[in-house]
Amino acid sequence: MSETVSKPAGSKPKGIDPRGPRFAASITAVLLIVATFLSLVGNATAGALPALTFAERAADPGFLLLLVIALLFLWSVLSPRTAPWGVLYRRVVQPRLAPPTELEDPRPPRFAQGVGLFVTAVGLILHLACVPWALPIAAAMAFVAAFLNSAFGLCLGCQLYLLLQRTGVIGRAATA
């Protein structure tokens, strides 16, 4: 997540630089494609997965990398201002760019991080529960979403947020 752009003192920030979440999605996509590969060559797809101990399943390199990615998603949900990719963007990349032409609401990208956390957590839990292919499928699903965001600016989690907002499920207070 990127840092909010501030207005004059006493008023709330308008939004975030939309290039920040795309930058974070780029790094995340690279990590997720590596996690997908590692889970495909590890024990996540092996027919012997149920015969492995819990510790052996947890020591799979694909599992460990996807666990780190899930923790990064969690960090982005709980504290977007201190999340590593956002800090890297604000300190290294953003100063070299022109100011953003428009800002975006920070709630949809934060919700998207939560969706990424959910998808990866389900894959991790199912892997530990001996479900073959759960790990590479979860990593691949998260990779597709991160890639679409980084390459084309299409944030699937943001779109889901907006859909849920339009239907009144989240994010919108009742109006008179």
What does the pLDDT look like over 92-109, one tens digit per residue? 999 999 999 999 999 999
Which pLDDT value is given to residue 49?
83
**What pLDDT does 173 receive?**
58
CA dist list (Å): 67 to 28, 106, 107, 132: 13, 25, 24, 17
Can you give the pLDDT at residue 3? 45
> What ranges in the chain are assigned the alpha helix state H?
19-41, 54-58, 61-78, 84-88, 107-128, 134-152, 156-166
SS3 state of residue 151: helix
SS3 134: helix
pTM, full prediction: 0.87
Residues in the chain, pLDDT under 50: 1-10, 174, 176
153 φ/ψ sector (left φ>0, alpha ψ -120 to 50, else beta) = left
| Res 13: pLDDT | 54
